[in-house]
Amino acid sequence: MKKIVLWISLILLCTGCTNQGDTSGNEKAISAQLNRLFNSYAKSGENLYDRPVPQGLFTDTLKTLLEKAVKTSEDDMERVKNSEYPDDKPLLLEGSVFTSLYEGFTSYRIRKIMINNVSKDKAESIVEFQNAAFAPKAVWTDHVLLVKDSGGWKIDNIIFGDNPDLKDLRSSLENFIAEARQPQ
């Protein structure tokens, strides 16, 4: 009996005894969410105005911030339209809202997905972007933070890696909303 337990222990030790299927499933689900994000909002935040923020893609906190930012922008468009100077430029969510390069990307690659080994409900993904419209082409990386809840993996924030003027998506949206509240 001891030999059988010893052999089973040795086999489990050699094979790693890890739950690779779960990790792989999580990575596929995270990749699907990232692809959904970057295919929906490839080059600019204009799509934020065209349709509601999708369910299940963002955490409730980030979804609420996005909706507030869009509402803030739409309110400012209306304010400018009805002002003495209707040709002034309103506050807009311009450029690539979800990456750190204003001009956006022409391609992206998910370089790495890291799932928190302790909590198993938080992950970070490193995404490499390229914009071939520049010479030389621009290449940068941003970090997407995700949280898993009963509805699956959701994007919670994006850390803008290479742009010193932008910290992260949440801060950018909060600053945008706060700027609109400043007296005109």
Residue 38 confidence (pLDDT) above 50: yes
> Per 3-state DSSP, what percentage of the chain is helix, strand, and coil (rounded to 5)?
40, 20, 40
80 and 90 Cβ atoms separated by less than 8 Å? yes
pLDDT value at residue 93: 84
Residue 21 confidence (pLDDT) above 60: no
Strands (E), 85-183: 107-115, 122-131, 138-149, 152-159
Where does the pLDDT of residue 8 fall: very low under 50, low under 70, confident under 90, or very high at 90 and above? very low
Give every CB contact of residue 74 below 8 A, 6+ residues apart in sequence: 49
Give every CB contact of residue 6 below 8 A, 6+ residues apart in sequence: none
Q: How far apart are CA 40 and CA 47, in angstroms?
A: 8
pLDDT in tens, 96-147: 899 998 888 999 999 999 998 888 899 999 999 999 998 899 999 999 999 9
Average pLDDT over every residue of 6-25: 46
Q: How far apart are CA 43 and CA 17, in angstroms?
A: 43
Residue 155 confidence (pLDDT) above 50: yes
pLDDT value at residue 10: 37
Q: What is the pTM of this model?
A: 0.81
- 32 vs 102 pLDDT, higher one: 32
Residue 18 confidence (pLDDT) above 50: no
Strands (E), the chain: 107-115, 122-131, 138-149, 152-159
pLDDT value at residue 148: 96
pLDDT in tens, 39-80: 887 666 677 887 888 899 999 999 999 999 999 988 888 888
